Every structure is written in structure tokens, then in C-alpha cells.
Chain A
Amino acid sequence: MENRHVNAIIVGAGAGGGVVAKELSVAGLSVVLFERGAWATYDDIDTDELNSQRAHALSNGYGPDNVRNKRVKIYPDGSSKIVLPTEAYSNNAACVGSGTVSYGAMAWRYMQEDFKLRTTYGHVEGSTLEDWPISYEDLEPCYEKAEWELGVAGDDSQNPFAPPRNKPQPMPPFSHNKEAQMLHDAALRLGFHPFPIPMLRNSVPYGGRPACYRMRTCAGFACPVSAKAGTHNTVIPIALESGNCELRINSVVSEIIVNDQGKITGIYYFDANNKKQKQTADIVIIAASATETPRLLLNSKSKFFPKGIGNENDWVGRNLQGHAYTGAFGIFNEDVFDDLGPGASVAICDFSHHNKGIMGGGMLANEFIRMPYLFSDIRPPGAARWGAEHKDFQRKNFKKVAQVIGPYQEHPVFDARIDVDPLVKDFWGIPVARLSGFRHEKDVEGCKFMSEKAELWLKEAGAIYTWQNVGGGKGLSGGQHQAGTCRMGNDPKTSVTDKWGRVHSVPNLFIADGSLHVNNGGFNPALTIMALGYRVGGYIAGEWSKGNRFK
């Protein structure tokens, strides 16, 4: 049976797609929301570290699975390898809500400078560093909407570097655990400006969901009480209740359909029974992640788009960024671990921008609780990696080690990219994404700077032994914070979409995920992706109500 034609197709029910689905369906458009995974529940992996999205040893608990999915990775030495989702795959969860089911839920707004990186720091050789086509002020109302509709606990008034806002965050911030309190006090002594990390997590009952009860297994896991706000338990249910949105799970979109006139009319997808199906629509919105979105565009070749849709100037899949995580560890004399989850709770933005000698910077915060298996890889340089000494370290120091870490804002690099592999195909026969290139050499300098600050902070807090783990090495970025591969911009020659997320060369094709980011800020990107969802979704809904059919 043929699928009924709808107003809009959204590919990907994650941070961006979930929000767009809600904006459009509430505005009265008929919507089909496609998700390659299924609904996730807490019971799927509960507290099992080896299947969590963080350790992903045995599996990615919330997908994608190792059986049907793969990618190709090209290493700096030119060698290439097929990688599975539990390996160097640059994975994001495949389920309704995607990463927002199992993320740590930090709710950062990017700062004003993040939108004006080129203006602030000038051109950097070897980097495609650029200003966004929109300013922080343009996105501010969308941030606010995300904060209030999904629910954020925080208090930006304690952060002097926070960008201006019209409305406070809707919930009070979380209290610190022992480690965070020690770091908070130490930061004050150092003249830093510590504050509680804003979280997409209920500190008090909110949105019909209970308050967090502070499990240790949070980042990498689904929430047992639904206190963590993702699109799966906030905006997607609203979209479904509107009666205008159909969610099609276990459905893998393979290609965007281009008709004889060169117009986009819908998509092909493989349904839950792996049968190829067609869905037509007036508008198509891709929100499949910064790896899968360009893969879909590049896999949609036709005589009108011989290099893939939106790829006239070879910008699709370019500028793959993530975050160069960098920081330091400290061992304390006494227990700093008090098992009050999820761990990360204190941050500083003192080193996010205007640091001498480096471009940008990033926030620094204490880290989420490291479960025992992850901790088994945390050792000072030169320490035993196995044997009696390794075991003894685990026993003695598990509760005595604190970590300060932050996402350094990477230099976008044109050759860090996603394209499609000419030979390797996935279970459905769709050519897989190929990851290649590497980070900018200057990233490591920024990371070094931040790691030094992190170490200083830990020492002040009383650490008796510290060591740095400097990020930003030679490898390729990406990962759960993947972004930048379909950059928005005013010039079609150096960007893929316009400032509303619409693909330059196609009137009815939009992108609404991290791919749009021109650069990725020195923060976890989830709230920004949601805000962009509100921007793109709001724009489409607004135009639609004015009669614009995007033809």
C-alpha cells in the first residue's frame, strides 16, 4: 500500500528532528518522523556499563547495532578500516530521542563570540573558521524555548561569562556533590567564577516528569525516572498527541527522491521489515546527525545532482568537528567520591574565550562518574596498565580521583570530512559513510592551555598528585558531539544551507541538526542543536502559515 502524501518528512528523531516534528505538527502540518532505531526504555540496559553508550564495549545499548551498521575510517597514514558502531565509528545513539536519551544532559548556550569566531580571532591558516550567518541574539529566543519546553535546571546569574538572556532557566540548579563542592571552593580561591552546570534534567518535578534522584549511571544511560529531558519524553510526545505526526520507527532512510523536474518529492526508506518503501512530502527535513545527514545527501545522486544534493561546491560532509576533550586528573588524600550522581556539576567559563595565544577555549567542569571499567583505563602516565599494581590502584584510588575536563572548541578543517565509500555497503545495501582527515594542529595548543588550567584547579582543591590528559591529537574528530558537515552560511559557494537551514540549491529541503554548526563552541552542543530545531521548525511553520509552500 502506498504511503499517504504528507506536508513534511523529518529524517531522524534526535535533538534536532524531535523539536522540528513538534514545531511543525503543532502548527498543523502533517508530518512523518523517521527514526532508524526504536523506542528506548530504561530496562534495555539499565545500569549495565558494558552496554552503555559511554563504554560501548559489548554493544551500544541504544544503538546502532554491530550487525547491520558499519563505516569506513581512513587513518592519517592513509590506511583504511571498516569500523563497527562499538569501535571508532563516531557513534550517536539510534533510538527515538537519539543521544538525548542517554546523554549527560548539559544544557549550554553557546556564547556570543562562538557565533563570531572569525571576527573575534581572524583567519587561521589551514582552518575554515568562520562567523555564523546568525548571531547569538538571533538564536536567543530559540534557546529560551528549548530551555522551557524541555526543562533546564540552572542559574546563569552565577556565571558572569554567560551570554545575556531574557528569561532565567526554569528550574533551580542542582546541588554539588563532594568533589564539585571542593572544586567550587578551590575555584573561588583561584579567582575563577564557578557555577552549577545547567542541565536538561529536572531538579524539581517539571513537565509532568519527576525530579532527578541522582543515580551514578546517568551519562551513557537512560534515566530510570525520566527526570532527564530528551526529545523522546518532551517534544516528540507533544508532536504525537497533536494527531498530525506519525513516528515511523525502525525505518532507515536511504535516499532523497528527485523527480524529473529536479524537484525533491520525498524519500525512500527501508521499513521495519527491511522492505523498500516510498514516502512523499512537500518538504523534507534532514536531522540525521553530522555523519548521517551528509551521507544521505551524498547518496542521493541524480542527473540534477550528480555530486549529491546540495554538494555543487563540494561542501557537503566537510568541516567535521566534535570536541577535543582535554583536562587533568588529580588524586586526593581522602575520598572525593560520594556517589551523588551523575557527577558533573561545577563548571567555569573563565577560559572559554580571549585566552592569550590560542583561538577560543572551552568550559571546564568536573566529570561524570566513571564506572569501574572506564576507570580501569585511567592511570597516570607510566603507571601499570595491568597486573597487581593496576588492580591495587583501582582499589585504592577509585574514590580518590577527581577529573576536570572540558570541550575545546576545535578549528574547523575542510579536509576533515564525511563522504560515502564507493565499495562498502551496509545491511540494506546503502553505501556507508567514510570518515577521513584530521584535526587542526593548533587544537593541541588550545587543549594544552586548558589542561594546565584544569591541573591548577585540581591542585588548589587539594590533589596530592595530578596529571594532564591533553586532547586534540592527530586523529579525526567527531564522536557524540559531531557537527559542522552541512554548514550554514550566506554564501552558497562556501556553505550548504542558508541561515534558516534551507539547502541553498533546493527550496524544500532543510537540515536541522549539528551539521549546521559553523563551529562547535566550547560547550556540549545538545541545547544548540535543539535551539536550531526551533529556529528551522519555527521558520518553516511560520512561512507555511503565510502560504509559502517552498516550491
Chain B
Amino acid sequence: MIKNKLLKTALLAIPIFIGVCLLSFGTFYSYWNTASADKTCASCHEIQKSVHSQSMSTHRDLKCKECHGTALSNGFHSLEEKGMMVVNHVLKIKTEDIHMNEEQVLGVMDNCKRCHTSEFAKWTSGGHSADYKAIFTNKKHNSTEQMNFDCLRCHGMFNNGTVEELVEPLNRKGPWHLKDDKEMAARPTIPCLACHQVHQDGLTKKNPDYSNPKSIFYHKDSSKSNLTFYDRHEKMNFSVSDLPKLTLWEGKRAVKVSDDLLMRNCVQCHAPNATHQAGTSDDRTPRGVHKGLSCMACHDTHSNDARNSCIKCHPAISNCKLDVIKMNTTYADAKSPNNIHFVSCTDCHDGKQQQKLNLSNKIIKLYR
């Protein structure tokens, strides 16, 4: 009898207990995910800084969970992650310098593209979406240049490991393959967060107040940019305004480089070698007739497409009487001698007849 009674009580108590648990957890869960971040996420001092920076950012209107998910949005994994944060907090385990791993960075990217569809599409169509397989198993590159730790500075800056853990063999003979081909091959090497930071300072875009001319865009402060560069060494994004402006030399003469802040991002990777001589290594800084132009004058920021950019400045038929739409340039033909990045006056005009066009037949042929 007693046994039965106990069993009955247990049978009743357990579901009630579970019910109460579920109910209280449910209440707590829904409270957590609806209340403002100040009352929830920011109550962990580890996260206060992030909540603060988010509240100053372009993305201030988004709730944390819209990018970071909830404790249940990603199954066991997110439950573990969130749980560990609490455990670490309670046990006072030092949680300095919280960094996202590459999987999380790619997870954030999935969130970016929910809203920024067009930018994502453009990025997909351009060179910066190249994946690990394309970059790290490229025969031409790998047989000419030995892969090394520094590759990851620009390709795979969020990679969790080292180049040794990524690809083998590390020599110039090959054949090369990714050690974890299944996981890594299709991963992009330059995800959104390489140049953007979700929490970066910025204003939300809204309709200008037309009654106040100062709110119209061309009156706004243009010296600030939301663009950032992710530095693998520091494991943090630097605003372009904190990045150095490129100094570039042609022999002993300084090359005029655009003051465009956005370009400071580009030159972090498209950089000359340590001598900073123009045209060395990956330097594509415009010089010659196009000196002083920013990369962005011709290239789309996300697709990097520069086709049809000439016509933005040059009339359809240029000063040189060339059809800028049809003319042969490097984007039409990699071997074209007419490299927009450094074509100079003297490529066409000889020194004596600076006023008058003096195209040799040979050059005319190359141009058309």
C-alpha cells in the first residue's frame, strides 16, 4: 500500500515538477528574449562592452538574438555555448578577449545576407568570395610561391588554425590538398567581417529631414566611415580611420595616393613589398595618368567589378580618340599593355611632342 501511495505521489509529482520547470524556464526564456539587452545580456559584465558598442552602431535597432540566436536556436551547440558563459561567469573563469571562431564568423555572415542580399550577391560574383580550395590549392601559385603562415593574413584571416594545419604539403612540389577538404573547401576566405564590423560605430540610415538642409547627405560629415579591417594579428577590426595611409615610391619620388579612407582597407592586402616601391608585390595603386584615384573610383566595393567604369569620367570617345567602352584594357585581356593602374602619358606620347598625340601604329594596334 505504502509503496503504491509513494508511486502515485511520484507519478503525480514528477510531471508537476517538470511542468513547473518548463513553465518557469519558458517564462524566463521568453522574458530573456524580449526584454531589452540592458536588462538581459548586459547583466553579464563580460558582454556589457558589446551591448554598448552595438547600441552605438548602425545595427542598433536589431536585437542581440537576431544575430547571436537564442539558447535554443542552434540545438545543443548554442545551449552549450550559452550555458558555458553562465558557468564561466559563476565560477569566475577569466573570459577576456572573446573572439568568434571561423564557424561563428560564417554564421554571422548568414545573418548579414538576410538583409544585405544585393551586397551578398555582388560579393559572390567577385574575387573576394574565393574559397579555401581555390586559394590554397592553386597550382600556379603554390608551385611559384611557398605557402606560409602569412598567407592567412589576407586569405582566411579568421582561420582557427595555422597554415600547417590547413593544407599539405607545404612545399612547391605538390600536389596540394586541404587537410579537411570536406569542411574547408567551400568556405569563403574573405567573409563579410573581414571588412565590416557589425558593432562598428555608425548612424542608422534614414530619410533626411528635407526641412533641415543640414541633414541631407551632402552636408553630413564625410570623414567617418563604417568600414573596418580585420587584423589577424590583433584579432580585432580597425576602423579605416585608424589604418595607415599608404606611402608609395617610384624610385625616390613619392607617388600621390588617394586620401580616400576606404582605400586603406584595400592596401592592407593589395600591398607593395617592404620597399613600398610602386608596382611591387600586390600593389595596384593607380599612378601614371590615373594617379591619386581611389580603388573605389573604378571598382565596385563588393563585386570589385570595374568594367564600364572608364565612362564615368571619360567621354565615350576619350581625349585620345579611343572608344573607352571598346578599348582593350586589362580587364578585357590580362595581357593588354594598357594597364589602367599605371598607364602613363609617355606610354603613348613621346617626350618631345607632349601637346600632340603621337600614337605609333604599334600602340594603336594594342589599344584597339
Contact = CB atoms under 8 A, between A and B. Distances in A.
Q: Do chains A and B touch in the complex (CB under 8 A)?
A: yes
Interface of A: 41-43, 46-48, 205, 208-210, 213-215, 224-226, 338-341
Contacts of B232: 46
A214 B276 CA distance: 11
B212 interface: no
Contacts of B164: 41
A213 B233 contact: no
A205 to B, nearest CB: 7
B146 A209 contact: yes
Given A43-B162, A213-B274, A340-B274, A48 B233 contact: yes
Nearest to B249: A338
B274 A224 contact: no
Interface string B260-277: 000000000000011110
A48 B234 CA distance: 8
B196 interface: no
Given A48-B233, A225-B146, 11 more contacts: A41-B162, A43-B162, A46-B233, A208-B171, A210-B146, A210-B148, A213-B150, A225-B149, A225-B150, A226-B148, A341-B274
Contacts of A340: 274-275
A275 B155 CA distance: 41
A214 B233 contact: no
A90 to B, nearest CB: 29
A341 B274 CA distance: 8
Interface in B265-320: 273-276
Nearest to B275: A340
A104 to B, nearest CB: 16
A208 B150 contact: no
B145 interface: yes
B172 interface: yes
Contacts of A213: 150, 273-274
Given A41-B162, A208-B172, A340-B275, A47 B233 contact: yes
B187 to A, nearest CB: 19
Nearest to A41: B162
Give the dominant DSSP class at B's interface: loop
A334 B337 CA distance: 39
Given A43-B162, A47-B233, A214-B273, A205 B146 contact: yes
A49 B233 CA distance: 12
A41 B274 contact: no
Contacts of B273: 213-214
A339 B274 contact: yes
Nearest to A210: B146
Nearest to A43: B162
Contacts of B146: 205, 208-210, 225-226
Contacts of A215: 274
Contact of B149 (A42, A48, A214): A42
Contacts of B171: 208
Contact of B145 (A46, A210, A339): A210
A449 to B, nearest CB: 35
Contacts of A208: 146, 171-172
Nearest to A341: B274
Contacts of A43: 149, 162
Contacts of A225: 146, 148-150
Contacts of A224: 148-150, 153
Nearest to A214: B274
B71 to A, nearest CB: 32
Contacts of A205: 146
Nearest to A222: B149
19 contacts: A41-B149, A41-B164, A42-B150, A42-B162, A43-B149, A205-B146, A208-B146, A209-B146, A213-B273, A214-B274, A214-B275, A224-B150, A225-B146, A226-B146, A226-B148, A226-B149, A339-B276, A340-B274, A341-B274
Contacts of B276: 339
A226 B164 CA distance: 12
Contacts of A214: 273-275
Interface string B115-147: 000000000000000000000000000000110
A215 B150 CA distance: 11
A534 B259 CA distance: 55
B102 to A, nearest CB: 14
A203 to B, nearest CB: 13
A214 B171 CA distance: 21
A43 B151 CA distance: 12
A340 B275 CA distance: 6
A343 to B, nearest CB: 11
Nearest to A47: B233
A341 B150 CA distance: 16
In the A-B complex, list the 6 residue pairs whose CB atoms are closest, starting with the nearest.
Answer: A214-B274, A224-B150, A42-B149, A225-B148, A210-B146, A46-B233
A41 B166 CA distance: 14
Interface in B220-245: 232-233
A502 B162 CA distance: 41
Nearest to B152: A43
B250 to A, nearest CB: 15
